[in-house]
Structure 1
Amino acid sequence: MTEPLHHHDALIYAMVTMSAVDRTMTDAELARIGEIVANLPVFAGYDGDKLVQTSQTCGEILGSDNGLEQVLQLIRSALPKKLRETAYAVALEVAAADLSVRPEELRFLDMLRDNLDLDKLTTAAIERGIRARNMVL
């Protein structure tokens, strides 16, 4: 990859990786990614027609040797510090999409948190907010 990653792509990489980390990309997770890209202000100006290609490129990187580490480095290098919490939040939204979070997803969240230099108090607050937003009876 010769061009630097755009911050939109980095956020999409965080979501796609969250969905793929347990080797099962559910319809609910894919739908949530689409909803996030279509509705979050951070994606204003993003060409939604690029979503599939960006997701496929992320998947190709993930499938290569040391792919997860490469994706984490790309996410970190493309995101300004003020969007690092957003990356964690959108990854959590994808994890919550199917109303169950698997151990692989928890491990990826730990890796993402560490990679983005987010403190545990901040991530706990984000987690609690998303848990409350996705709560069902």
Structure 2
Amino acid sequence: MSKKRNPMSDHHTALVYTMVLVSAADRDMTDSELLTIGDTVQHLPVFADYDLNEVPKAAQACAELLAQEDGLEKILHFITDKLPSKLSETAYAIALDVAAADSAVSQEELRLLEMLRHRLQVGRLPAAAIERGTRARNMRL
């Protein structure tokens, strides 16, 4: 007997896919990016009712989708389909956090972040504010 998916967790999966996608954008998922994903799931209120044991499963499913033909498009469609619009800015913010985790944002990550911003319909001003907040949180001397 197969276990039915909990549709209430689809927004969680979409958020995890968002983070994994950014981490995998440059084909190098660093320890700091993976740690950021784990910390995000553990500490953000949107994940309060999410089972942490689901993160590796969701990450693996995302990686498998990404390996398919048109995988990126399939993942982006899943994210925009399953994520409530009120979580669009949250998704963009956590994507930026993952990109900033290893202190070096690659061109691939920048392109993906731009795609995400457009797909999530995050406006220029909110995006600039979120980006500035990410920069401020990750500033070093």
TM-score by length of 1: 0.96
AA matched with 2:26: D
**Deviations 1:28-79, CA, capped at 9 Å, x for gaps:** 0000000000000000010000110100000000110011111001000011
1:94-133 equivalences under 5 Å are: 94-133=98-137
Structure of larger gyration radius = 2
Which of these residues, 33, 36, 49, is aligned with residue 37 of structure 2?
33
Q: Which runs of 5+ in 2 are unaligned?
A: none
TM-score by length of 2: 0.93
Which of these residues, 12, 21, 25, is aligned with residue 21 of structure 1?
25
Partner of 1:53 in structure 2?
57
The percent identity for this pair of structures is 55
Q: Give the distance between the partners of 1:80 and 1:98, measured in 2 at CA.
A: 29
Q: Which runs of 5+ in 1 are unaligned?
A: none
AA matched with 1:48: L
Task: Report the Cα offset of residue 118 of structure 1.
Answer: 1.2
**SS, match of residue 93 in structure 1:** helix
Aligned residues: 136
CA RMSD of aligned residues (A): 1.3
Task: Report the Cα offset of residue 121 of structure 1.
Answer: 1.2
